[in-house]
Amino acid sequence: MDLGNLGLFKLMSRKMGWLTQRQEVLAQNIANADTPEYKSRDLKPFTFRDALTDNRRLTPSATNAAHLAGTRGPGGIAKDQKVRDPYETAPDGNNVILEDQMIRQGQTVMDYQTITNLYKKQVAMIKSAIRTGS
């Protein structure tokens, strides 16, 4: 049995992928907190629709060892976007607010913990189902 084919597991792994990507985008924002003209970005919120439809980008297959893999791998699940209503913009055009980014990161980590706990619980449930069967 492939756990990846089960609806719930598929859903959870997609959400985990989204959270991972969000963490990446937020880390880029924080790294560029003092870069002039840098605009902070975030992912589009994870919606139920995204969860159900497989909108992963197609990747060209490499048939020769010399083919390049490309910069955006199959991991690019969600599109990122510029933050539309920035709270504050510095005179140099940078609108990264560290506090705001920290909150977003905190949310991401918490959500990730929730999902991994859920994952573990689900596995435990399947395990106990198997155990009672034997």
- Distance from first CA to last CA of the chain, Å, rounded? 17
Using the minimum distance from each CB to another protein, give the nearer residue, 31 or 62: 31
Rounded to a whole number of angstroms, the minimum distance from the CB of residue 101 to another protein is 7
Rounded to a whole number of angstroms, the minimum distance from the CB of residue 24 to another protein is 4
Using the minimum distance from each CB to another protein, give the nearer residue, 72 or 131: 72
Q: What share of the chain is helix, strand, coil (3-state, %, to 5)?
A: 50, 5, 45
Measure the CA–CA gap between 63 and 60, rounded to whole angstroms.
9
Angle at CA of residue 133, ends 131 and 134, nearest 5°: 75
Using the minimum distance from each CB to another protein, give the nearer residue, 13 or 51: 13
Measure the CA–CA gap between 56 and 21, rounded to whole angstroms.
13
Rounded to a whole number of angstroms, the minimum distance from the CB of residue 51 to another protein is 18
Rounded to a whole number of angstroms, the minimum distance from the CB of residue 35 to another protein is 4
Q: Which residues sit at the interface with another protein, rule CB under 8 A? A: 16-17, 19-21, 23-24, 26-28, 30-38, 71-73, 75, 98, 101-102, 105-106, 108-109, 112-113, 116, 119-120, 123-124
Question: Tokens in use for 24?
Answer: 């990446």
